[in-house]
Amino acid sequence: MKILVINCGSSSIKFKLFEMPEENLISYGSVEKIGEEISIFKYFGKVNIVKEMKINNHEQGIELIANTLLENEIKNIEEIKGIGHRVVHGGERFTGSIKIEEEVIKEIEQHSFLAPLHNPHNLAGIKGCMKLFPHTVQVASFDTAFHTTMPKISYLYAIPYSFYEKYKIRKYGFHGTSHRYVARRTAEIMGKGKYDINVITCHLGNGCSITAVKNGKSYDTSMGLTPLEGLIMGTRSGDIDPGVILYCLEGLNLKPSEISEILNKKSGLYGISEISNDFRNLLPLYGKNEKVTLAIDMFCYRLKKYIGSYMAVLGKVDAIVFTGGIGENVPLVREKSLENLEIFGVIIDKDKNKEIVGKEGEISKEESNIKIFVIPTNEELRIAFDTYQIVRESIPEK
C-alpha cells in the first residue's frame, strides 16, 4: 500500500512516498523557497530531478509533487491510499494520529494561535492534498501528541492557575514523533517491552529538545508552550530568564516582534558564535575561534544540565539516546555532554563514539549501567506507519 508523507513548513514542503507495511522508501524530495522569486524542486526516485522554478504557494507545490509521482512512480492518484501530514500543534485534544475530517481541520485551526509559525502552513498542505487527492485518506500526526502523557507537575508553569484554565498556557512539547520513534527503537534494541523502559531521548537538529520517557511515555520534555524553551538551538535561545524579555521591552524599548526575531532567529549557536547556526560550519573552528568554542561548549553544557535533571526525575534510566542531525553526526557533542557522569553510571566509549556517525549504534562501554545509543530518527516512517494503520481501519479488508 502506497503512503505519502507530507511535512509543510512556512516556505517548504518535504515529502516521502513509502510502500507499507514493507517500509520501502519509493521516492522523496522537497519544494523549497515557496513564494520567493525562484523556488527549488528536488525529487529522488526512479528519476532524480533538481530544478529551479517558480512555485507560488503550497497547493502548487503539492500539485507538482503529485504530477511528478504520476509521471514516475504511480499509474493513478488513487494508488496512494493514505497521506500522513505532520502537524506541529495538536494542543491537549489530540493524543495520537487521527483521520482528518472537517471537525479535525477546525480544531487544528483553533490551535493555530498556539503555533502561528507552523499550524497554518501544515493546514495549507492538508487542504491542498484534500483537493488534489479527494479519495485518499488524510491523516494528521501531531508533534505534541507523544507528550500528552506528561503529568501536571511537569507541564504547568508556576504562574496563576487561571492562565492555564482560561488561555491553555502550559508546556506542550514538540518533536514528539521523533522522541517516540527513538524510544520505541531503543526498547526493540534492548529487547524490552515498549512500556517497560525509561529513556532520555535527545533530539538535536535544527530545533533541539530532550525528553524524559518513563515506562515508554513522555514524562517531561524541554520545549514548552512554543519550541523556544529548553536547550540551546541553531538560532533559538532556549531557556532564558523571562526578566530579560521584560528588560528588552521596558528598558530597551524593543517591540515584541523584534524580541521574537532575536530569540527565534538570532540567538543560540548563531547568536553566540556570530558565525553560523550549523555545526558543519562551526566544528572546523572549534578550539580555534573563541566565540565558536564558547557557543559549542554552552550548547553541550545546557544539554548536560538537562540530562542530569532528567536522570534525577526518572531515577532508573535504561538508556540515553542521541538523534537528529547533530545527535547523529557530531561525536563531540555526545562526548562533552556526557563527560564526568561515570559516578552516575554513564560511561561513554570514546572510540565507538567517534565511529558511529550517521548510523545506529551503541556508544557506551560494556560496564556502563546506562546504555548510550545513537539512533537516526525517522519521523516520516513513523507517520507513514500511523497512516497505514488508520487507512487499514477505515478501509475494511475484503
**CB nearer ligand AMP, residue 216 or residue 324:** 324
Stretch that binds ligand AMP, among 59-67, 164-172, 318-326, 348-356 (CB under 6 A): 318-326
Give the three cell numbers for residue 28.
522523496
Which helix (H) or strand (E) is 68 found in, with range?
helix 58-72
Residue 271: CB minimum distance to ligand AMP, A? 14
Question: Does residue number 329 form part of the binding site for ligand AMP (CB under 6 A)?
Answer: yes
Question: Does residue number 279 form part of the binding site for ligand AMP (CB under 6 A)?
Answer: yes
Question: Does residue number 303 form part of the binding site for ligand AMP (CB under 6 A)?
Answer: no
**CB nearer ligand AMP, residue 9 or residue 82:** 9
Residue 295: CB minimum distance to ligand AMP, A? 11
**CB nearer ligand AMP, residue 73 or residue 229:** 229
Q: For residue 2, what are the β-bridge partners?
A: 19, 80
**Closest by Cα among 375, 377, 333 to 354:** 333
40 Cβ contact partners less than 8 Å away, ≥ 6 residues apart: 30, 31, 32, 33, 50, 51, 52
Q: Is 64 within 8 Å of 75 (Cβ atoms)?
A: no
**CB nearer ligand AMP, residue 326 or residue 383:** 326
Residue 237: CB minimum distance to ligand AMP, A? 16
In terms of phi and psi (left: phi > 0; alpha: psi -120 to 50; beta: otherwise), the region of 29 is left
Residue 379: CB minimum distance to ligand AMP, A? 9
Query: How many Å apart are CA 266 and CA 263, to the nearest integer?
Result: 6
340: number of Cβ within 10 Å:
9
Q: Is 189 within 8 Å of 374 (Cβ atoms)?
A: no
**Closest by Cα among 143, 140, 221 to 177:** 143
Site for ligand AMP in 207-236 (CB under 6 A): 234
When binding is defined by CB under 6 A, the residue of 61, 125, 128, 324 that contacts ligand AMP is 324
Stretch that binds ligand AMP, among 56-64, 66-74, 108-116, 321-329 (CB under 6 A): 321-329
Q: What are phi and psi of 261, to 5 degrees?
A: -60, -45
Residue count (the chain):
398
Question: Does residue number 172 form part of the binding site for ligand AMP (CB under 6 A)?
Answer: no
Q: Output the furthest CA–CA distance in the chain (Å, rounded).
A: 69
Residue 92: CB minimum distance to ligand AMP, A? 26
**CB nearer ligand AMP, residue 35 or residue 205:** 205
Handedness of CA 303, 308, 313, 319 (dihedral sign): positive
Q: What are phi and psi of 20, to 5 degrees?
A: -115, 150
When binding is defined by CB under 6 A, the residue of 280, 305, 316, 354 that contacts ligand AMP is 280
143 classed as catalytic: yes
**CB nearer ligand AMP, residue 219 or residue 270:** 270
Question: Does residue number 120 form part of the binding site for ligand AMP (CB under 6 A)?
Answer: no
When binding is defined by CB under 6 A, the residue of 88, 129, 183, 326 that contacts ligand AMP is 326
Interface with ligand AMP: number of residues (CB under 6 A): 11
Instruction: Enter the DSSP assignment of 194.
Output: T
Q: Which residues are catalytic?
A: 143
Which residues are at the interface with ligand AMP (CB under 6 A)? 205-206, 234, 278-280, 324-326, 329-330
